[in-house]
Amino acid sequence: MSKIVLDPVTRIEGHLRVETEVINGKVNSAWSTSPLFRGIEPILKNRDPRDAWMITQRLCGVCTYVHSVTSVRSVENALNLTIPGNARVIRNLLMGAQFIHDHIVNFYQLHLLDWVDVVSALSADPAATVTVDRQIYSGRKRTSSYFSGVKQQLQAFAKSGQLGPFNNGYWGHPAYILTPEENLVFMANYLEALKTQMQVAHMHAIYGGKNPHPQTIIVGGITLNKDLTSARITEFKNHVTSAQNFVNTYYLPDTTYLLGRYKDYAKIGIADNLMSFGEFPQSSEEPSSFFFPRGIIFNQATSSVQPVDVGNISEHITHSWYSGSGSLNPAQGQTVPSYSGINTSGQYSWIKAPRYQGQPMEVGPLARVMVNYGKGQSATVQQVNSFLQKTGLKLADMYSTLGRTAARAIETKVIADAMASWAGQVQASSQTLTMPFRKTFTMTSSGSGLGLNEAPRGALGHWLNFSSQKITNYQMVVPSTWNFGPRDASNVPGPVEQALVDVPVADQARPLEVLRVIHSFNPCIACAVHVFDPKSKATFEVESL
C-alpha cells in the first residue's frame, strides 16, 4: 500500500488537494480537500439582497456571470417576479456564451494535456500530420507548412526554458498513447482554441458590458436599454456563428477522435447518481419550458429520470471544518468555520458534503446530457447517438471519465446551435418593443427566495433569507461542492472520491491517470471556497509514500 498526495492539483480554478491510497496498482480510497475557506456567506449578512449578485459573482473569474444570475433569481423568487421576454432571451444568450467559453477552455487548456504529450509532438513529421488532421475532420485544409510552423513554435518554447503551463508535465508517461503526429495536431488546436475563447468571451462584452463579471443583469431583468442596437445584435450573431464553426470543425471532432483512442476510460472514473437543475427557460413557465430539463438519475437508470425536490437536499459537515452537527437543508444552513487540521479520519476540507435523499450526486455536463437524453431532448439524443456510433461505444459507457469529457463537447454543440436561433429573438432598442428589458417592482421588507440554475460545471443553488431589507442568511451550494465534497455523516465518499476508486496508476511518482479523472470534473474550487491569506507561503509537492 502507498499514499499519493497531489497538492496542489494544477490546471484548475482554485486550490485543491487530493490524497489517494494505492493498493496493487489501483486507487483503493481517495480524499478530496479544499484548503481555503470561502467566507462569502458571512460577508453578505446585513447587506441589501439586491446587491448580493454583485458580490457573489466575484467568487470566481472563470465561472463569471453564473453566480450573479443565480443570486438575482433568488431575489426574484422571493418577490414572485417574472422577468420580461427580452431579458430572458438575453440572459440565455449570456449563459450560453459562458458555457461555450468554459467548455472550450476546459478541454483544450485544462484537460487536453492529460491525453496529449507535448514533447512527443516535437518529433512529428508535418507532412504525415496533415493526413492525421484530415482523418480527424475531413474539412480541415491545413498544410504541412502550417504544422511545421506550429512545431517550430513549440520547439522555441521548449528551448526557452520558460515552459509555463507545460512545465512539470508527465511527458513520456506510458499512459500517453498518441503518435507524435496526433500530438502535434492537438497542440496546434490547443493554440487555435486560445483565439476562439477570446472571441467567445467578447459575447459577454456585447450584452454584458465586460468579461469577466458582466454588469447587465439586475433584479427584474436586464439594464440594457438604448444600448441594445441592431449593430450589437448583428455582432453577437456573428460571434455565435464563429463559435459554431469552431465547435463543428475542431471541438466536437477532436473530442470524438481523442476519446476513440482512449476507450479504456469508459470503464474508469465511474458515475452512478446524476442531478441537473435544468437551464435556458424558453418562456415564463419554469421549469417546464427549460431547454435543458430538470431531473435526477439514480444508479445509471437513464430511462427513469426523477423530478427534483430541493427539500431533499442536505449538507453534511461531519468531515468539514465547520461547527455544528447533523445535516441541514441550505435554506436553514449555517457557515461557522472551525479549522482543526487535515485528518482524513476526521475533518479534512472546507467544502461541505451535499446529498440528495442522502445520496451523493454528480452534477455537470454528464448529468445534464444524460438527463436530457432520458427526457428525450431531441438535439442531445441526436448528438449522443452520433458520438456512440462513431466511437463504437454504448450508452452505459457514458457514465465514466470518457462520457464526462464527451458530454462537455456534446452539449457545447447543442447550445451553440440553439443560440443561433435565440440570437434572432432579441429586439433592438429602436424597435417598438413588445418585450421590455426589465420589470419594475416594490422591494418587500422581508422574505426568502431560492435561485437555481445550471452553471457550466453543474447544478448551482443560492438560498436567501432577509428581514428589514437586510440579508439574515445566505447559502450557496455550487457545482464543485457537489462533486468535490468530502465524506458525509455515514462516511460515504463524495462523487470525485468515489470516481477515483479503482483508477489504475502505472507510475506512482507520476499519477497521470488520477489527474485525468479529476480534470474531467473541471474543478472550480474558488467557487466552493474563497478567502485571501497574505501570510501563506506556497509549498507544492507530489508525494509518493
Catalytic positions, please?
A: 13, 60, 63, 67, 457, 480, 524, 527
C-alpha cell at 433: 418593443
Query: What span, in angstroms and rounded, lies between the C-alpha atoms of 512 and 173?
Result: 8
Q: Give the residues across from 279 on adjacent strands.
A: 292
Contacts of 539 (CB under 8 A, 6+ apart): none
Query: DSSP readout, 83-135?
Result: --HHHHHHHHHHHHHHHHHHHHIIIIIIIGGGT--HHHHTT--HHHHHHHHHH
Contacts of 231 (CB under 8 A, 6+ apart): none
Q: In what order do the strands lie in the sheet with 26-33?
A: 26-33, 17-23, 2-7, 541-544
Which residue from 299, 315, 269, 286 is spatially nearest to 489, judged by alpha carbons? Answer: 315
3-class DSSP state for residue 285?
Answer: coil
3-class DSSP state for residue 349?
Answer: strand
Query: What span, in angstroms and rounded, lies between the C-alpha atoms of 513 and 507?
Result: 9
Q: How far is CA 305 from CA 295, 308, 398, in A?
A: 6, 9, 16
User: How many alpha carbons lie under 13 Å from residue 544 in its C-beta half-sphere?
Assistant: 10
DSSP type of residue 399: S
Query: DSSP readout, 443-496?
Result: --SSEEEEEEEEETTEEEEEEEEEETTEEEEEEEE-HHHHHH----TT----HH
Given 3-state DSSP classes, what are the helix, strand and coil percentages for the chain, each rounded to the nearest 5?
A: 45, 15, 40
Query: What span, in angstroms and rounded, lies between the C-alpha atoms of 315 and 327?
Result: 5
Give the count of beta carbons closer than 10 Å to the beta carbon of residue 238.
14
Amino acid at 435: M
